Structures are given as structure tokens and as C-alpha cells.
Amino acid sequence: MKKFLAAFLALAMIASLLPAALADGGLEPITLTVFRGDPGDQPDENNKIYKLIEEEFGIKFEFEFLAGDLDETLGLKIANEDYPDLFDGGNSADLIINNGALINLLDYISPEKTPRLWAHIEPQKARIIEKDAEGNDVLYIIPNYGLGEGEQIANEINGPAFFVQKQVLEWAGYPQIKTLNQYFDVLEKFLAANPTDENGSPYIGFDILCEDWRHFCLINPVQHLMGRPNDGEVLVDVSTPEYKTETFIDKPYAKAYYKKLNEEFHKGLISKDTFVMNYDQYIAQISSGTVLGMFDQTWDFGNATNALRTAKMDNKTYIALGLVYDPEYVDGKEIEEHYLNGSVPNIRRGFGISVNCKCPERIIAMWEEMLSEKWQLIFNWGIEGEDYYVENGRLLMTKEQFAQTQDSTWQKANKARAFFESSPKRQGWILEGEFAGNCWEPGNQPEIYFDQMTDYDKAFLSAYGYQKPADFVNPPIQLAPYGEAWQIDYTPVDIEHQDFLNIQDKRLPEMIMCDPAEFDAKWDAFVEEITPSATAFGDFMQQAILKEAAKVDPNVVLPE
């Protein structure tokens, strides 16, 4: 007990006095090794935000970004126990958690020791604090996104959607595109009238990214066409008390989507290259302005969007559409679109602290201080008078200041993206203090969002009678009690789940490219091949979703 009390007091002192201790030379400067489970760019050596972190916390970072296959990279690190201090496993974070690579953050976080961090996670603790095999509370990663404050801000679709270049809709006279057939019809007509861009480069009608975990661009559209937000690889009927859950990829309504893609492939809208290109090639294609449409998630091609904006190709940036199936594909039913979900904690995504780290207290103390208003403004807004200004209590940027935040070269010298993107952060509305009523993120600040919009985008939205891109879809619906099903740990059925994915990755491109006369037979063979793993995975997910829902909704009845 005495040892615990001593550790408690020491940690409390570190958390509260860290900056002062550094100023007095009381803490030794350290360098933290950092792994990010995504590709990225090294920050400039003299990056001003990292310099501030070094000055105040005595901490420098040595970044390693993903290069190659994520699971293979993590597998090597696990085999060699080559764990960095700060470990972001990306979309395969379960691998490092289940192999014991991360410490339990609850050993260091509590209402008394770290009030800011605790207040940050407390509203969603039922979802993000889990149980280990012994029944103990564990938290390995504080979600890097989705712990918003105040009413949800919905200016844009930041997640999944069917995307189309704005110039396509402008050329077509600003039509309302609500269904799958309407979407491909407008792409076909634009491509027929405009086979090449102004430089003579051929347009690509529809891209499909299939590489590694980003194969969601190939797999996930079906659930959204059925009117549901992102539940990963299952379709959940939230209107039923048992949350009826099924895999969707092997159902007749999924066949309709891939048969449509087969038709579009043979019309020339989809190239064979799309099934073999890697992520960098995909981003390069989009950045060139030659890709008319794709299914993706907004954050996944953000670098390409920034490149298009920097090149003044605003007409070739994208608008997100919440498409649903035409009634002919679903027995005449009218499907209601629900792409936007309520605020979703990004469970198990972000930095964990590895078991190899020799100074977890320093990192926790740093995060605690960084959740202060001062540091959140630095990470989000920059340096007052240099990157933004304050007028009558409002946080503002000039058009030039906001434009530079979208420039990737500027970011490398002036933003701490590689660290901040995977760290705990405050989002949404600033609810208290001097800047209450402002937004934590400049892009969501009303004056900036609307007034700093390019003239092209203002005119584009005005043509539709809209104020923001999110007006193209229905308002967010209430988050289901189980959250979003893709966040569930699939480890107990990992072999079946991987087989389920491997079959899709192999067979779906084959069906999209096959002779149309062979499609039905290939589909039937696909369903037969995938049924065993789909059944095992679907049955597991049904039970897992009920268990997750029961954490939040006491009325959920668990099967005996």
C-alpha cells in the first residue's frame, strides 16, 4: 500500500508540474520511438510544434511510418518484440493488443490522477473500457477520434460514401443523385462526352481500391446501399430486439451491386489496373484529377483532396453521395438512406504505450497536459498571430491562413500531424472558458467553414440550394447501443474471418471482370465457397453485437 501511495503521489506531481520541472532541468530529455500504422511523411527537422513540445516536455519523437503490408509489418514486430514506445497498429490494432504489446492505461489514468484524460473518456467508458481474460477493466488505446464534445457537427461526410467529381454534376446540370443507377448513369454520360481531360489524359470512370485492409472500398458499399451506416462486414437490423445480424456479401442484394460493377467494367468505366494498384498509386490517380468517382471514406484520400486544392482543381474535388439501391434491386422496396451515424468513438484506434516503454508516466503526463485548452489550440489552430487571430472572442483565420493548413508541404513544418492524429484529442465544440462557443477544429468553425470556402464550392453548393456538403445526405441517426460493429474484436473467429475476407478479395474482382454470361454461375460458386466462413463469422457477430449492446442498453436480452 505504501508503494502504491508513493507511486500515486509521484505520478500526480509529474502530471501537474511537468512543464515547470523541465524548465528547472528536473526531467531528462528523452526521445520516444513512434510507429504509425499508416503511410505518412516525416515532419521537417525544424517543425515549430515539435520544437514547442521539446521545449515544454523534454520529449522528441522518432517516427516510423507503415511501408508495405500492415499485418506483415506488425507480425514481424510481434515476433521480434520490436515495440516502439508509442504504438499505433492502425486497423490491425487487435494484433498488438492480443499479443500483449501494450500496457493497460487504466494503471495510470483515473479521475484523481489524470482529471482531463478521465473526463475525456468518461462519457464513452462503457464502450471503450473492456474486460481482459481475467475480468479486469482494461484500456489499451484512448480513441484518437470520435470523443466529441457538445452537439455533433455535421458539415461534411467524413466517413464512407460514393464520391463523384463536382465537375460531373456541374456538367450534368446539378442533378439530384440518390440511387446506384443514377450515379453510374451520370458517370457514363460524362465520360462519353468527355473521354479525356484538358491535358488529353483519359478519364477513369470508377476506381476501386482493393489493397490490404483498404479493401473496404470493394466490400463495404452493399450495406450502405441497403441504407445502413458503417458496420464493417455485417448488416444489422436495429429495428429488431435481437439486433438481427447477417453477413451481407453472400446475399442476393449484394449480387445486384457486383453485377452492376460487371456491367460498368464492360462499358469501360472500370479498368483492370484498379484491382492491382497499391494505395500510393490510387492516391496519385485521384490527385491527377482523372478519377471521376469511387467508393471510399473521406479521410482515406485526404492527401489527394489537398493536392487537388493546392493545384486549384476545385472542380475536380469530390462530393459525397449517400446512394441506395434502386427499388428494382430489392424487390421493389424504397430504401431510406442513413450514411451518417451519431458520434462514433474510434475504438482501439490511435496510440497505445508499449510494454517496452520505459517512461509511460511521462507520456501519460504529457497527454494530460496536452488536453488543456492551450495545447489543443496549438495542435488545431497553431500559433496565435501567426496561424490564426482572435476577434471578439472568435477564433478566426484569413483565407490565406486557412489555405496553408491544407497544403501538405506547409503541414510538415507547421503541424504535428504524425503525433496528434493518433493521440487523444478534443473535438466538437469548445464548451467552457474564454473561447466557449468556438470549435476545436478550424475546419468546423462556422465563419471559416462557410466564408473560407472557395468561390467554386460556394457556387456549387448554391446551385443545389445547400450550405454544406453534408446537406447531400440525411442528418446523422442515433448511434446504435453496440456502436459500430467493425470495432468488435474478431480474434475468437480470426481464422474464419480471414478466410471470409480472402475469398472476397479473390473472387469479387474476378466476377467484376468476367464475361457477363458467366456471372451468375460464378456468383453461385462464390456463395457456395464462402458460406462456411460466412456462417461462422455471422454467428459470432450476432452474439458479439448483443454483448456490446448490453453494455449500454440494460433491456438487451443475452442468449443463455
Strands 394-396 and 389-391: antiparallel
**How far is residue 123 from each of residues 100, 135, 552, measured CA to CA in Å?**
27, 21, 11
Percent of the chain at pLDDT > 90 equals 82
Q: What are 478's three cell numbers? A: 442515433
The bridge status of strand 86-87 relative to strand 352-353 is antiparallel
Environment class of 358 (CB within 10 Å of its CB; exposed 0-12, middle 13-18, buried 19+):
exposed
Cα–Cα distance, 244 to 546 (Å, whole number)? 9
Report pLDDT for 341.
Answer: 85
Q: What per-residue confidence (pLDDT) applies to 25?
A: 53
Please tell me the predicted confidence (pLDDT) of residue 152. 85
The fold for domain 2-102+104-139+346-444 equals D-Maltodextrin-Binding Protein; domain 2 (3.40.190)
Taking only the tens place, the pLDDT of each residue in 129-183 is 998 989 899 999 999 999 999 888 889 888 999 999 999 999 999 999 999 999 9
Calculate helix-pair angle for 360-370, 373-381, nearest 10 degrees.
80
Helix (H) or strand (E) holding 294: strand 293-297
Q: Average pLDDT in the 320-342 region?
A: 94
Nearest to 366 by CA among 16, 3, 6: 16
pLDDT at 2: 37
Average pLDDT, the chain: 93
347-399 tens-digit pLDDT: 999 999 999 999 999 999 999 999 999 999 999 999 999 999 999 999 999 99
What 8-state DSSP symbol labels residue 331? T
User: pLDDT tens for residues 35-66?
Assistant: 999 999 999 999 999 999 999 999 999 999 99
Among the listed residues 325, 205, 323, 206, the one whose alpha carbon sits nearest the alpha carbon of residue 254: 325
Place of cell 459525397: 320
CATH topology of domain 160-343+465-552: D-Maltodextrin-Binding Protein; domain 2 (3.40.190)
pTM of the model: 0.79
How far apart (Å, rounded) are the C-alpha atoms in residues 131 and 139?
A: 9
pLDDT of residue 9: 41
403 bridge partner residues: none
User: Which one-letter amino acid corresponds to residue 293?
Assistant: G
What's the CA gap between 28 and 556, in Å, rounded? 51
What is the pLDDT at residue 26?
61
Q: What is the mean pLDDT of residues 315-322?
A: 98
Measured between its terminal Cα atoms, the distance across the chain in Å is 41
Q: What is the DSSP string of 213-241?
A: GGGHHHHTHHHHHTT----TTEEEETTST
Confidence of residue 342 (pLDDT cuts 50, 70, 90): confident
Helices (H), 179-215: 180-193
Other C-beta atoms within 10 Å of 542: how many?
17
pLDDT beyond 90 at 300:
yes
Question: Cα(265)–Cα(268) distance, rounded to whole angstroms?
Answer: 5
DSSP 142: -
CA Rg value for the chain: 24
Check if the beta carbon of residue 536 is closer than 8 Å to that of residue 547.
Answer: no
Can you name the residues that pair with 388 across neighbouring β-strands? Answer: 384
Per-domain residue ranges of the chain: 2-102+104-139+346-444, 160-343+465-552
Q: Give the ranges where 344-445 is alpha helix by DSSP (H).
A: 360-370, 373-381, 399-405, 408-414, 417-420
Domains 2-102+104-139+346-444 and 160-343+465-552 share a fold: yes
Instruction: Report the distance separating Cα 528 and Cα 530, nearest Å.
Output: 6
Question: For 190-237, how does the pLDDT look when each residue is reduced to its tens digit (9 = 90+)?
Answer: 999 999 999 999 999 999 999 988 999 999 999 999 999 999 999 999
